[in-house]
Amino acid sequence: MLGASYGAGTVGVLPILSDGLLGEVTHVVQHTGEPGPHPNQAQPRAHQVIFDPSGRWAVVTDLGLDRIYVYAVNTVTGALMANDPPHVQLDRGRGPRHAAFHFNGRWMYVINELDSTISAFTWDGARGLLREFQNLSTLREGWTGRRWPAQVVVHPSGQWVYGSNRGSGLDSDDIVVYRIDQATRAMTPVGHQYSGGLVPRNFNIDPSGTFLLCAHQDSDTIIPFRINRATGMISPTGQTVQVTNPTCIQFAPRVAGWPSDRSAGQRRPARQVARQAGAGRRSGGAKGPPGRR
């Protein structure tokens, strides 16, 4: 298992033992370099680490250094080996936050927290190389308010990519939708949809591609949306789920042999939401309002 430390600017590796418990840390990589110009870039800020579709490479967004690092993963020794080159340097002040791979394994998308943009890259999975080819705003035209996007997700069909903007309330908290041209790979803005709450820190799309569920950290709600298969736009289903301080949404995989009868006292794992409520207010990393990252 890999983890990114925002406060320390590090990436760590932990083994998963045969009983499912985590072992001692086997490797820690410390990011170094010149921080960006934004006040929230005072030091390296490793924000997220994800595997590429092959599982051979780990990709880390560092908000503080405006870099995207690529590491080869040694699953035998539990070590990370810097690729050559070790990172992609983005324009200063972007603040790369989260990344998501396209399901064709050839493209990757990054949402940039500090300048409210989304960047598209080609991905060479054989050599672990990223090359940027497009960068677009996540904001409504003419928007002059808060700039603080959070999450990026690619639709399971690969036809659309979605991003969230954490605004100042009302319709400034929204989900932005882009169409992905499968031939040219270019993104085209489709539209914005009010997210239905305050600070849409995280969202995810169910494996069937039918629903988008949005977690609002400050209004303590999860709002489900139905996805239009023709346009990619979303519309609220009318349901509101109360969850204290939700910060992440993941869908549990279908497990063979899992009881399907609710009377068995267990939930169906397929398409169920694993809702992670933040344990109180976070500290450290003065990004946005106090205690928020």
Q: pLDDT (tens digit, 9 = 90+) per residue, 115-134?
A: 999 999 999 999 999 999 99
Higher pLDDT, 103 or 255: 103
Beta bridge partners of 221: 216, 242
* Domains of the chain and CATH, by start: 35-254+264-277 (2.130.10.10)
Report the distance separating Cα 47 and Cα 31, nearest Å: 11
pTM of the entire predicted model: 0.87
Phi and psi at 261, nearest 5°, equal -85, 120
Model pLDDT for residues 262-271, shown as the tens digit of each residue? 444 444 433 3
Given a cut of 80, whether residue 242 has pLDDT beyond it is: yes
Mean pLDDT, residues 207-231: 97
pLDDT at 277: 38
The predicted-structure confidence for 156-188, as pLDDT tens digits, reads as follows: 999 999 999 998 666 679 999 999 999 999 999
Question: Residue 34 — φ and ψ, nearest 5°?
Answer: -80, 120
CB 78, CB 122: distance < 8 Å: no
Taking 90 as the threshold, does the pLDDT of residue 65 lie above it?
Answer: yes
Vertex 223 angle, CA 138 and 170, to 5°: 55
Kindly report the average pLDDT of the chain as a whole number: 89
Q: Is the pLDDT of residue 151 over 50?
A: yes
